[in-house]
Structures are given as C-alpha cells and as structure tokens.
Amino acid sequence: MNETIFQGVATAIVTPMTKDGVDYSAFDRLLNWQIAEGVNALVIAGTTGEGSTLTDEEHREVLRFAVDTVKGRVPVIAGTGSNDIAYAVDLTEYACSVGCDAMLVVTPYYNKATQKGLIQSFTAIADASTKPLILYNVPSRTGCNLLPKTCLELSEHPMISAIKEASGNISQIAELASLVRGKMDIYSGNDDQIVPVMSLGGKGVISVLSNVLPRKTVEMCDAFFAGDVVRSREIQLDLLPLVDALFCEVNPIPAKAAVAALGFGENYLRLPLTPMEPQNEAKLLALMREQGLKV
C-alpha cells in the first residue's frame, strides 16, 4: 500500500455556482476557510461538488483552480470517476498533470458493472494514474456495490491506496477491514458513521458535514486518534441531528443551502437538483445556529 493520503477529515466540498457558471471568487474563499478551519484534505468535483453536471471544461478548470489556490497546504483529491471509463482515464491523467494529489473514483453508475468489470475498470484508471486512487463505494447512488473481496484484489495494485466506504453497511465495512488491513486505507463516506468506521481501523472521513462544521468534524477525528474515544463519540452523537438535516434531501441540496447561508456564494444548483424545500431549509439553519454558526 502507498502512504496514507490523509488522516482525519477531507471535505467533499461544494462548488459555488451562479446561472452563469462556477463562482470562483466564492470558491476561493471557501477553500481558504476550510484550510483555516483545519481540514486535512479537500475533495474537488465529487458528488457534493456536482461533478456530474460540470462541463468537461469546468471540471478541469475547477481542479486546476483548486490546486493553484490550495498551494500544497493540504492534499487536493480530484473526483475523476465516471460511468465512461475512457473519460475517467482521461480526466485522471489531466488531474495528475495539474498537480492533484490523489483521485476519488466512484464505481460506474447507471450501466453498473460486475465485480470483474469493476476490477478491470479500476485497474485501467489506476494504470493511467501517477497519483494514488481512493475507490468510492456508494451503491445507493450508483446501483453498484464494490464488495470486500474485490477490494482485496484491487489493493494489490500499487496506485490503489484507499476506499471511501458509503454503503452504510457496517457489517460489510467490518468484513472489508478484516480483509484489507495493512493494504488499503478506509474512510467513512457517511457522516453518521465516522466513529464506527474509525473504530474498525478507518483513517477518518470524506465528509459533507465538514462543509458546515469543519473544525468540529476535525475535532471528532482528532479526539479519536488521540485516544479520547468518549469525546469523539459524544461529538458524533451531538451532531447527528445536523447530519440528518444535511441528508433530508438528496446531497448536495442541503449542503449547498448551508454553504450559501454561511456566505460562500449563491444557493444555486444545476438540474436535476433543485433548491431545498423551505421548511427543510429552516430546520437546517436552526440546527446550524444551535452549533453557534451565524446564519
């Protein structure tokens, strides 16, 4: 296994937009605020960043802009997955060329794949990459489940370093941890399971929550790794209502509303996503105020 890409919190960051395109001024402020709040890495143009509705030109420019803005202060992880593996290879090569530190590569969606197809697809992307890959398992969105034994086989590839596990199935994650220990890092892909996944040997989380509460999410992970499991657990439990609110509508609808309320651009999403329902947004903002946020 390659060296650990990050330990702690990587924010799966939203992409501020207007009807005219990406709002790079807001994006710059958001990236710098996240780093100032102590996050350990940033994921650009993933699910939360609406990577699937960025144009190819925008996707590439967002990655380049993030690298130039972050300036090596934390790892920049590029969302380069696709259901078109040739496109994923091309985008991965580009991300490597502009200085991204790692790739987050989701299982193929819609056309899906067999486990054999997943092995061949991830291998093709890894073969083309000069930077480590984080596999991304999120069957609720893709209809495709990356099984633990498949991960074990993929862990033999020198460029496949980790997995973001968002299946929500803690038994599957435990089996995965049992099989790949020492060969592949595991990150929680669900904000309500950060501490449970770390208890199985996970290295932290690729988080939506940290768009809103980066410092508190980092505190949860730092406490766990410092041996204060009780403190870490209490933060996890205290934040569950906010986590629930951030996922009461499909991600990143609530996250975009929250980040806009914090002053980082407009609450603008691209179809098929639409703005948050008013009653849900009111509840989300109230929970943010309970955490001391000025919204």
Determine contact, residues 45/292, Cβ cutoff 8 Å.
no
CB atoms within 10 A of CB 242: 24
Give the residues across from 164 on adjacent strands: 136, 187
Q: Which two tokens stand for residue 15?
A: 């992409």
CB atoms within 10 A of CB 218: 21
**DSSP H helical segments within 20-147, as ranges?**
24-36, 56-70, 85-97, 115-128, 139-142
The three-point CA angle 197-8-142 to 5° equals 55
Catalytic residue list:
136, 164
d(CA 44, CA 289): 27
CB burial string 134-167: b at 16+ within 10 A, e below:
bbbbbbeebebbbbbebbbbbbebebbbbbbbbb
Compute and round to an integer the Cα radius of gyration of the chain.
18
Question: What ranges make up the beta strands (E) of the chain?
Answer: 8-12, 17-18, 21-22, 41-44, 76-79, 102-106, 133-137, 160-165, 185-188, 204-207
Torsion 101-106-253-291 (CA) sign? negative
d(CA 197, CA 285): 28
Tokens 């862990």, located at residue: 155
